[in-house]
Amino acid sequence: MKLLRYGPMGQELPGILDSTGNIRALRPIVRDIDATVLSLEGLRFLGALDVSKLPLVSNPGRLGSPIGAVREIIAIGLNYREHAKESGLPIPSEPVVFGKSTSSISGPDDDILLPPGSEKTDWEIELGIVIGAVARRVTKEVARQYVAGYCMVNDVSERAWQIERGGQWGKGKSFDTFTPVGPWLVTGDELDPNALDLNLQVNGRTCQQGNTSDLIFDVDAVVSYVSQFMTLMPGDLIITGTPAGVGLGMKPPKYLADGDVIDMSVTGLGTQRHAVMKAV
C-alpha cells in the first residue's frame, strides 16, 4: 500500500493510491495516517479494503507528509561509507544518533526556507523508516516486524548551526521546512529497503547517487540498535543517513541559495521537488 495525506498545511486528509496511481479518500474510514493506522492491526484493516470502491480524489492539490502525527524523528548520521569519508570523519563503529524537531516536517513539494543569514544550508536525501509497533530491545532478526513502512526524506541541514555552534547536530537540522517527507509511505511488504537507488539533483545537476545496499548499518540494525535505549512507538520516524554528494563534501563546499530547485527520487518511494527561498 501507498499511504499519503493531501490538502492545505495543517488540514491534510488521509488517502491511499489505487492500482492506477489515483488517490482515493480514506476519510471517514480513518481520521488520519496516525499511530492507530500505522499499527500492525491498522495496516491489516486497510489491506482488507477494496480500494477501487473508495471515493476518487480528482483534485488533491498539495501533498503533505504522509505521517499525520510524528512523535519522534530519530536520525542516523554518517551511515554511508563514502559520506563519512567526504565529511573527513572515521567510519562509525556504532550508529551515530541525533534528533530533529518534529516542527521541521513539511510536504514533498513544499518550499525549503533558508533561515535568516544562512549561507551553509545543505541537502541530504535519505530513506525513512516508519515504526508500526512498540519496539523495546528488539533483535536484528525480528526488527522488520516492527516497521510499518518506508518513505523518502530530505534531511536539510544548516551546517554552520550544525557544526560551528557547539556541535549539537539537531540545531542545524530543526528549522521549519527542514524535513520534507513523502510523497508516500510505502508499506514494508512492497519493497526491499536494502536495495533502493537514491538520486538528488540541484538545478538539474546530479549531486547524490547511492543505494541503500551501501548502508553501514542497514534497516534491521538501525531499528534494533535504537530500540536498545529508547522505546519506539507507531508513527515514529527514523531517517537512516545520506549517501556521498552533499554540498559540505564538495571542494570547495557548495550550499543552497535563493532560487535553487532540488529534485529527489528513491526507488518505489516517488519523487520530491523543492524550490529554495529565503525565509520572510
Q: What is the pTM of this model?
A: 0.96
Residue type, 168: Q
pLDDT tens per residue, range 26-53 = 999 999 999 999 998 999 999 999 999 9
| Domains of the chain, each with CATH number or no CATH | 2-53 (no CATH), 73-278 (3.90.850.10)
- 89 CB-near residues (< 8 Å, 6+ apart): 78
Q: Strands 185-187 and 147-154, how do they pair?
A: antiparallel
**Which residue in the block uniquely carries the three cell numbers 553501514?**
216
- 5 CB-near residues (< 8 Å, 6+ apart): 12, 13, 14, 15, 32, 33, 63, 64, 65, 66, 67, 68, 182
pLDDT higher than 80, residue 167 = no
pLDDT at res. 33: 98
Cell of 12: 491534510
pLDDT tens per residue, range 80-111 = 988 888 888 888 999 999 999 999 999 999 99
Please say whether the beta carbons of 128 and 154 come within 8 A. no
pLDDT higher than 80, residue 2 = yes
Residue range 245-252: mean pLDDT, rounded? 94
pLDDT at res. 138: 98
pLDDT higher than 90, residue 7 = yes
Task: Tell me whether residue 107 is exposed, middle or buried, using C-beta atoms within 10 angstroms of its C-beta: 0 to 12, 13 to 18, 19 or more.
Answer: buried
- CA-based nearest residue to 72, from 144, 129, 152: 129
